Chains A and B, each alone.
Chain A
Amino acid sequence: MKVKGKVFRYLDNVDTDVIIPARYLNTSDPKELASHCMEDIDADFIKNVKEGDIIVAQKNFGCGSSREHAPLAIKSAGISCVIAASFARIFYRNSINIGLPILECEEAVKGIKSGDIVSVDFESGKITNETTKESYYAQPFPPFIQKMIEAEGLVNYMAQEIQK
């Protein structure tokens, strides 16, 4: 599976409260959640984001709350992949569970700027900055995680596996 998109770049410690503020958590509708994604630190995000775009951030992305609404909002906003130097633990788990691909790669984070076009190959873990023509390698997902992402999350994946 490969994705390609324009980069929205953020700094350290982007927390779940700014990804989706609690005032909107009285719903779990992904589209409604997406319409408020990142608004407290980047009011233009939702206006500018297009299907397939990529978030790149520094360390500890997704720190804070266990709300699965955070990766849901990002995914529903059209983001195809999040690349960060490191992820907070619960966010990492939640993202895989709902089928949002996320990659840890400090080198890529250093070499990518906002607005760059980046492509990612999940099979090999290769991240290419199409704007600068530089490539980086993240630890690729093992096959079952790749399948989980393709199935749009853990529950669908488990259901498929059970039916086999």
Chain B
Amino acid sequence: MSMTMSQKILASCAKVEKVEAGQLIMADLDLVLGNDITAPVAIKEFAKFGVKDVFDNKKVALVPDHFTPNKDIKAAQQCKILREFAHEKEIENYFEIGQMGIEHALLPEQGLVNAGDLIIGADSHTCTYGALGAFSTGVGSTDMAAAMASGKGWFKVPSALKFNLTGKLSKWVSGKDVILHIIGMIGVDGALYKSMEFCGEGVKNLSIDDRFTICNMAIEAGAKNGIFGVDEITLEYLKEHHKGTPKIFEADSDAVYEKVYEIDLSKIRPTVAYPHLPENTKTIDEVEKIEIDQVVIGSCTNGRISDLRVAAKILKNKKVNPKVRTIIFPATQKIYLQALKEGLLEIFVEAGAVVSTPTCGPCLGGHMGILADKERAVATTNRNFVGRMGHPGSEVYLASPAVAAASALTGYITNPETV
């Protein structure tokens, strides 16, 4: 046999016994995703196929989340294309403002992702769903168009890197620190074209939210997908969210990995990625006193309820530094409501933070938190490229919600253990 988890899912969806790294296959897709930036291009291309409907109106998900609520007239026009297409093709999983959220938090929450699924999305962070044992990967708009028409996608079967996790994370250390540590170690092209498979006895000490964050940033190491094996914690999450039966794939004991990395979770420190690449990491102990103008807590990477709870724990009964604009984005309406019920939003507002409706806005420099020249932000988002959050002269430091919240209090990048 000798296949990795990712290879087994691809083989299953291609309806073949076995695949090997480098092989080109055509496979059936369980879900095709697009957003208000990528789907309008896909819809234009889809029209050229001359087919009337999408392959399955239950297996296409359209989420207007990047420039929504619409930031300007052009964005409104783009979203209108999405909305009209969704209505015309009777797409069941179209999430209008008010029901929506940031796509990669929303889809698992809505029960659209099952273990063993094969998912493509016209968004690079589609790799997030590997947290639930699915093979999911980002593609462009043309691939999305072809997939909406046919329900199929072609793949080059990836080779894999294995990350053997042991131990348990310390207080204030989270999935974000794990993935920043790994990207710092292997680089932004360290997993180029490959799968990142996370396994080992340390996995049981990682929450589903930690796993979502880790898989979300697999693309920042260049990976095709990131994936965790299915365990009790996964099954519990799926039972709560998904109606179907999980399809569990385990790597063969003799599966071939290009490289195996041993990671002791207990040794990982809060980690910060300096501008302008996610690989420019330093542990919190090595970080100098870097003054900041803005803190952003949210995005598909770290806008989940556990992230907001951590931030609230640090901000409770305290005030953010008056020179730090602190913006908090719950990732979905459901998370927003949960945060409201738990009193987290009250803590944020009383601390002097702004709480926004779910949107990808600031993460990609779209709207709702754009940086001016020479300004610095600490963000729980996933990229810190030149101009990522606004002016090309601005800087983004990537960190966990704990580090971001602690930094909001002091005005400089701060170890959460010290506040």
Contacts and interface: CB of A to CB of B under 8 A. Distances in A.
Nearest to B190: A60
Interface stretch (B71-79, B287-295, B333-341, B407-415): B71-79
A124 interface: no
Interface stretch (A2-10, A66-74, A112-120, A133-141): A66-74
A90 B122 CA distance: 10
A141 to B, nearest CB: 14
Question: Which of A21, A59, A156 counts the most chain B CB atoms within 10 A?
Answer: A21
B181 to A, nearest CB: 19
Given A60-B189, A154-B142, A40 B49 contact: no
A28 B142 CA distance: 13
Contact-size category for B: 35 or more
A17 B385 contact: yes
Contacts of B364: 17, 22, 65
Contacts of B193: 89
B302 interface: no
Nearest to A21: B387
Given A28-B40, A28-B78, A98-B142, A60 B188 contact: yes
Given A98-B142, A155-B48, A155-B49, A13 B189 contact: yes
A26 B75 contact: yes
A25 B38 CA distance: 9
A155 B364 CA distance: 28
Contact of A66 (B67, B72, B124): B124
B388 interface: yes
Contacts of A13: 188-189, 277
Given A26-B72, A88-B189, A88-B192, A66 B122 contact: yes
Interface in B131-171: 138-143, 145-146
Contact of B140 (A41, A93, A156): A93
A66 B142 contact: no
Given A15-B385, A17-B385, A40-B392, A90 B44 contact: no
Contacts of A67: 37-38, 140
Nearest to A88: B222
B386 interface: yes
A22 B142 contact: no
Given A17-B387, A17-B388, A63-B222, A68 B140 contact: yes
A153 interface: yes
Contacts of B122: 66, 68
B78 A63 contact: no
A97 B142 contact: yes
A15 B188 CA distance: 11
A66 B136 CA distance: 13
B374 to A, nearest CB: 15
A18 interface: yes
Interface string B65-94: 011000110110010000000000000000
Contact of A26 (B71, B141, B146, B188): B71
Given A17-B387, A28-B41, A23 B142 contact: no
A159 B49 CA distance: 7
Contacts of B143: 93-94, 97
The CB with the most chain B CB atoms within 10 A, among A23, A69, A86, A153, is that of: A23
A35 to B, nearest CB: 14
A155 B143 CA distance: 9
19 contacts: A22-B388, A23-B390, A25-B366, A26-B71, A26-B75, A40-B387, A60-B192, A60-B222, A63-B222, A66-B124, A68-B141, A68-B142, A88-B192, A89-B192, A89-B222, A90-B219, A154-B142, A155-B49, A155-B146
Question: Which 4 residue pairs of A and B lie closest in terms of their CB atoms, listed nearest first?
Answer: A94-B140, A26-B74, A97-B142, A68-B140
Interface of B: 37-38, 40-41, 44-45, 48-50, 66-67, 71-72, 74-75, 78, 121-124, 126, 138-143, 145-146, 188-189, 192-193, 219, 222, 224, 277, 364-366, 370, 383, 385-388, 390, 392
Given A26-B78, A27-B78, A69-B37, 8 more contacts: A22-B365, A27-B74, A40-B387, A40-B392, A64-B385, A66-B140, A94-B141, A94-B142
